[in-house]
Amino acid sequence: MNTNPSAFLRSENIRLQDENKSLKEEVHTLRDFVQVLDELYGKGAEIKSDEQLLPLLKHILDKSLTILDAPDGSLMLLDEKENELAFVLVYGEIADELLDYRIPADEGIAGWVVQNSKSALVPDVRRDNRFSHLIDKTFQFRTQSILAVPLIGNGRVLGVIEALNQPGDDPFSEHDLALISLLCRVVGERLAYIEDHLKS
């Protein structure tokens, strides 16, 4: 048992400083998240054509990856007619090569997300039998961890947002999943609204 009061106070002070830093980071993340939602509603209301939709999606993905501190990520939209997922926006190491690339809508973890209308939190893809090596082999990339969330609007899956390879020993937490799932739920409903508006 430590009977040195000054040593105990120093230790407790360090612990409280670390806890305070962690709380500040979490508050900052939540503020960013609220800002994204606020901007999403504002920008979504301004959209009058298909050409204006892509910048909104780019904004959403950029903010999502920033919130997650993820270096790589993509936004895929579902082509129901072809039953494929198209990489509409890509950030990271192979962004240029992967843009406009398509995969079957039942391929890999993203395909599982589409087929099941559920999110997937995968800290180590090598231990998950849903993972497809197709993109890694094709583009000489190494996926380590994935957070994939469906974009759902009007009761149907419109696409998937994926974040990859968050640094650190504990990549992607349940907290990360909860934030991005809520964001994607709002995005999905907004996209469905925009899609209906553009058709009318």
Mean pLDDT is lowest, of 42-56, 89-103, 120-134, for 42-56
What's the mean pLDDT in 36-58?
A: 70
Domain boundaries, the chain: 5-199
Average pLDDT over residues 159-182: 86
- Answer whether residue 151 shows pLDDT above 80: yes
Contacts of 93 (CB under 8 A, 6+ apart): 71, 72, 141
- Give pTM, 2 decimals: 0.78
Give bridge partners of residue 76 from the DSSP assignment: 87, 160
* Residue 196 pLDDT: 76
Q: What is the pLDDT of residues 98-150, one digit of tens each?
A: 999 999 999 999 999 999 999 999 999 999 999 999 999 999 999 999 999 99
Q: Residue 25 pLDDT more than 70?
A: no
Q: What is the pLDDT of residue 109?
A: 97
pLDDT given for residue 2 in this prediction: 53
Query: By C-alpha distance, which of 32, 36, 83 is closest to 57?
Result: 36
Reported as type and span, the H/E element at residue 157 is: strand 156-164
As its CATH architecture, domain 5-199 has 2-Layer Sandwich (3.30)
41 band by pLDDT with thresholds 50, 70 and 90: low
Average pLDDT of 152-162?
A: 93
pLDDT at 1 over 70: no
Which pLDDT value is given to residue 37? Answer: 67
When pLDDT is averaged across residues 15-42 and rounded to a whole number, the result is 67
Query: 21 pairs with which residues across the strands?
Result: none
Residues 158-168 have a mean pLDDT of: 90
The residues that bridge with 88 in the sheet, in sequence order, are: none
